[in-house]
Amino acid sequence: MILSVVLALAAAVFYGVSDFFGGLSTRRLRVVPATTIIHAFATVSLLIAILFVPVSFEPDAVFWGGLAGLGAILGLLTFYAALADGPMSLVAPLIAVVGAVVPVAFAVIAGDQLSVQAWIAIGLALVSALLVSITRSDSGARVRPRTVVISIVSGLSLGGALIALDQAPHSAGLAPAVVEIVVGLSVMLVLLGAIRVSAPLRRFFAQFDHQPEGGPVGSVSRARILAAAGGVLVGASNAFILFALQAGSLAAVSVLVSLYPLATIVLARFTLHEKVSRIQLLGMVLALVASVMLALS
């Protein structure tokens, strides 16, 4: 269990840092090109990784990896859509919790054998994931039913991607993660091409874009470098997630990976000087307690 916990936490840190880099890059780049760059470099990093670790592109690995790729990219796109359609302070926690609860529920149904301490730790981790995802918003902020539906679809898709990866045969090694990211990149390349030739599609995705701004990002070339660095980290995170699933429990891995906003919050605090709320601090403490409990269970 300790190895699985360490790998899952490493995946959460890498993904959280990647999320921070990706968020900064979209301040100068549009969301779809930035996401495509991230997937391209994630693909390159994983293709390099398979030169050093065992892989076997057996049929089940390709199937489950492809399914995970479709779920992950659908979850990502609907995540952007939900954030553009409603207040982040309400949408982000909903997506985070749904994305973590779905694999946990699947693990329970599948008869995942864990100790009482481990299940208590998983419950604490779910609460901490909710708390660290809560951000400040206007007191009158409300979520429309449409936004709730989009958020649930995002959470279900992201959670489903983890379940799919967990179903891949362990003998395949890193292959499912490679297939997952290649499928995601393929979808983004098709989408990028469609946006360039379709004005309605271009207007639709424009609503997810930030207005160009400077600040800590600066030039477009620096934004591309940030997106590329984020992609390398996504590739590493996907590899860690897969290895964590192969070494431990789906329920434990899913809730630990859902703590990735912790890394984003810490980076934003020390580089952008953003404030951390008391609720988020409480979530951080609970996350630490849950991680220790899981490691010792």
- Confidence at 133, pLDDT banded by 50, 70, 90: confident
Q: Quick check: 21 pLDDT over 70?
A: yes
Give the residue with greater pLDDT, 199 vs 217.
199
Q: Quick check: 211 pLDDT over 60?
A: no
pLDDT of residue 20: 82
Task: Dig out the tokens for 3 from the structure.
Answer: 């190895």
**Count of the separate structural domains present in the chain:** 1
Give the residue with greater pLDDT, 23 vs 66.
66
pLDDT of residue 10: 93
- Confidence at 44, pLDDT banded by 50, 70, 90: very high
Question: 252-295, pLDDT tens digit by residue?
Answer: 888 888 888 888 778 877 777 777 778 888 888 888 888 888 87
Query: Which structural domain, as residue segments, surrounds residue 175?
Result: 2-296
Question: 197-208, pLDDT tens digit by residue?
Answer: 888 888 887 777
Say how far apart CA 64 and CA 60 lie, in whole Å.
6
Average pLDDT over residues 153-167: 93
Give the residue with greater pLDDT, 19 vs 186.
186
pLDDT of residue 168: 93
Say how far apart CA 281 and CA 286 lie, in whole Å.
9
- The residues with which 173 forms a beta bridge, in sequence order, are 55
Task: Specify the pTM.
Answer: 0.84
pLDDT of residue 184: 93
Average pLDDT over residues 155-161: 93
Say how far apart CA 213 and CA 217 lie, in whole Å.
8
pLDDT of residue 209: 67
Average pLDDT over residues 10-15: 91
pLDDT of residue 46: 94
- Confidence at 210, pLDDT banded by 50, 70, 90: low
Q: Quick check: 216 pLDDT over 60?
A: no
pLDDT of residue 213: 47
The mean pLDDT value of the chain amounts to 84
Question: 60-118, pLDDT tens digit by residue?
Answer: 999 999 999 999 999 888 887 777 666 666 677 788 888 888 998 898 888 877 788 88
